[in-house]
Amino acid sequence: MNLFTIVYDGIRRRKIRSILSVLGIAISAMALFTMVSLREGYETAMESELDQMGAHVVALAKGCPYEAVALIMMGGEVPDTLPEEVATEIEEIPNVDFTSPNALGAYEYAGETHSVVGITPNEKRMKPGWEIEQGRLPEQSNEVLLGSGKNEKMLEHEDNWNGVGDNYTVYLDGDEIYLETVGILNETNSRDDNNAYTTLETAQNLFGMEGEVVTFNIQLEDLGLMHETIKELEEIPDVQAVTVDEVMGTVQGLAGTGEAMLFAVLVLALLIGGLGTMNTMMMTVFERTREVALMKTMGASKQKIFNLFLMEGVAICLIGSLLGIAAGGLLVWGGDMLLSQFLPLMPSQSVALFSGEALVWALLFPVGVGVLSALYPALRAAALEPVIALKNE
């Protein structure tokens, strides 16, 4: 027999009440674990996505910065374009190392949106993660380089798909336009895996934006001069420049919308769970008044009685917390599906990340609540006078 035998006996003998208290804590801990894990997973995935872009600054036509972010991250609708010649003006800025212009467009086929990105050879220089698994970059009109995911889809859906040498079909306005596959990219674990890359000119022709560019991805020589370079970039007519940090800030803003409120609600839920535990513990102390008195007649010290009841409260919260983390783990596992219901912008790689920070929060916070909620009942039990308590029926 030890402290835990007696604590276990106390919890076991009021199963329903203990289970309800455990559930209250578990639900809060699950929500806390899931929220903190997914937030970290989302930010990590988005950061990695931005790293893969390779650009320090993106220049695009003036407009809403949120649209700009969506465009940069998702290749969304093109609100406005810039003339191709802007590239020269950009490269004349002293701190600009080089720029890689992109002409983006998309088409619908078999219920899915397919992106086509027009690039120049500078795109490979921009993206250190790019390795061409087979073939080469597109150099001539109507040539295409496929991301690894795109190639896998073609293998799945097209009979006799051989990759390099085969035709990739773009479906636009009822026409079928054939592009010759000249290369396959390695897996980058980014959105690039699902894109088709063609020459700038081909994309401009496909999407009716001759001589126009949607974004200029820019690498700088000295990141310390970012602020000044942005200023110079924005002196070019109709150009707005967005830094990768700004994009990340917007992404965090998107993820953080309502997060503070949700967090406050969760903390409140945990405190309510704690009150439930306190109620359970108070009831226990009232019900076990004579038992506590008996223990005191047997020589149990105040400290031992206090520990006994404190441990019961903590055990309830700890069990709740562990169950909540396990359930939260399942939710995090399905985190991509869950988050895509709430967030307009999702990274291409999974957001399912089992965060250490989330584990600490979901474990320590409920246990802290357990200590607080059991403190008063434990003190009450420890202070019981055996003579008075023994008279109670």
Partner 1 sequence: MLTGENISKIYRRGREEVKALQEVSFSINSGEMVGIMGPSGSGKTSLMNILGLLDTPDRGRLSINNCYVDEMSEREKLQTRREVVGFIYQDFLLVKSMTALQNVMLPLYFAGKDIFRKRASDLLERVGLGQRLHHLPSQLSGGEMQRVAIARAIANDPEVVLADEPTGNLDSVSSEGILNLFHEINKEGKTIIIVTHNIELAKELPRILHLRDGKLLTGDEALATQ
Among 74, 247, 300, 314, binds partner 1 (CB under 8 A): 300
- Pairwise CA distance, residues 290 & 285, whole Å: 9
For the chain, the maximum distance between any two Cα atoms, rounded to a whole number of angstroms, is 98
Can residue 392 be called a binding residue for partner 1 (CB under 8 A)?
Answer: no
Instruction: Say if residues 136 and 119 touch (Cβ distance below 8 Å).
Output: no
Site string for partner 1, 189-228 (x = CB under 8 A): ----------------------------------------
Q: What is the closest distance, in whole angstroms, from the C-beta atom of residue 296 to partner 1 in the complex? A: 8
Instruction: Say if residues 100 and 149 touch (Cβ distance below 8 Å).
Output: no
Please identify, using beta-carbon distances, which residue of 9 and 245 lies nearer to partner 1: 9
Q: What amino acid occupies position 271?
A: L
Please identify, using beta-carbon distances, which residue of 13 and 231 lies nearer to partner 1: 13
Can residue 2 be called a binding residue for partner 1 (CB under 8 A)?
Answer: yes
Site string for partner 1, 304-343 (x = CB under 8 A): x---------------------------------------
Q: What is the closest distance, in whole angstroms, from the C-beta atom of residue 20 to partner 1 in the complex? A: 19
Q: What is the closest distance, in whole angstroms, from the C-beta atom of residue 390 to partner 1 in the complex? A: 8
Instruction: Say if residues 90 and 59 touch (Cβ distance below 8 Å).
Output: yes
Please identify, using beta-carbon distances, which residue of 5 and 160 lies nearer to partner 1: 5
Can residue 157 be called a binding residue for partner 1 (CB under 8 A)?
Answer: no
For residue 393, CA distances in Å to 260, 305, 343 come to: 49, 20, 58
Q: What is the closest distance, in whole angstroms, from the C-beta atom of residue 8 to partner 1 in the complex? A: 10
Can residue 163 be called a binding residue for partner 1 (CB under 8 A)?
Answer: no
Q: What is the closest distance, in whole angstroms, from the C-beta atom of residue 6 to partner 1 in the complex? A: 8
Only one of the segments 1-9, 56-64, 186-194, 268-276 lies at the binding site for partner 1 (rule: CB under 8 A); that segment is 1-9
Can residue 5 be called a binding residue for partner 1 (CB under 8 A)?
Answer: yes
Instruction: Say if residues 20 and 47 touch (Cβ distance below 8 Å).
Output: no
**Chain residues 259-298 in contact with partner 1, contact rule CB under 8 A:** 290-291, 294-298
Site string for partner 1, 367-386 (x = CB under 8 A): -------------------x
Q: What is the closest distance, in whole angstroms, from the C-beta atom of residue 1 to partner 1 in the complex? A: 5
* Pairing relationship of beta strands 96-109 and 112-119 according to DSSP bridges: antiparallel
Give the total of residues touching partner 1 (CB under 8 A).
21
Please enumerate, as own/partner, the contacts of 69-74 that have beta carbons within 8 Å and a separation of 24 or more. Answer: 69/242, 69/247, 69/250, 69/251, 69/345, 70/344, 70/345, 71/104, 71/214, 71/215, 72/215, 72/242, 72/247, 73/46, 73/49, 73/191, 73/247, 73/251, 73/345, 73/347, 74/191, 74/345
Radius of gyration in angstroms for the set of CA atoms belonging to the chain, rounded to a whole number: 31
- Pairwise CA distance, residues 357 & 179, whole Å: 48
Number of Cβ within a 10 Å radius of residue 192: 25
Can residue 1 be called a binding residue for partner 1 (CB under 8 A)?
Answer: yes
**Chain residues 115-134 in contact with partner 1, contact rule CB under 8 A:** none
- Pairwise CA distance, residues 171 & 149, whole Å: 19
Instruction: Say if residues 102 and 73 touch (Cβ distance below 8 Å).
Output: no
Tell me the H-state helices in the chain: 3-12, 15-53, 65-74, 86-92, 122-126, 148-157, 200-206, 226-234, 244-256, 259-287, 289-297, 302-333, 335-340, 356-383, 386-391
Can residue 387 be called a binding residue for partner 1 (CB under 8 A)?
Answer: yes
Site string for partner 1, 7-26 (x = CB under 8 A): --x--xx-------------
Which helix or strand (DSSP H or E) is residue 132 part of?
strand 132-135
Please identify, using beta-carbon distances, which residue of 65 and 386 lies nearer to partner 1: 386
Q: What is the closest distance, in whole angstroms, from the C-beta atom of residue 42 to partner 1 in the complex? A: 48
Please identify, using beta-carbon distances, which residue of 346 and 384 lies nearer to partner 1: 384
Q: What is the closest distance, in whole angstroms, from the C-beta atom of residue 377 to partner 1 in the complex? A: 18
Please identify, using beta-carbon distances, which residue of 4 and 178 lies nearer to partner 1: 4
* Residues in contact with partner 1 by the rule CB under 8 A: 1-2, 5-6, 9, 12-13, 290-291, 294-301, 304, 386-387, 390
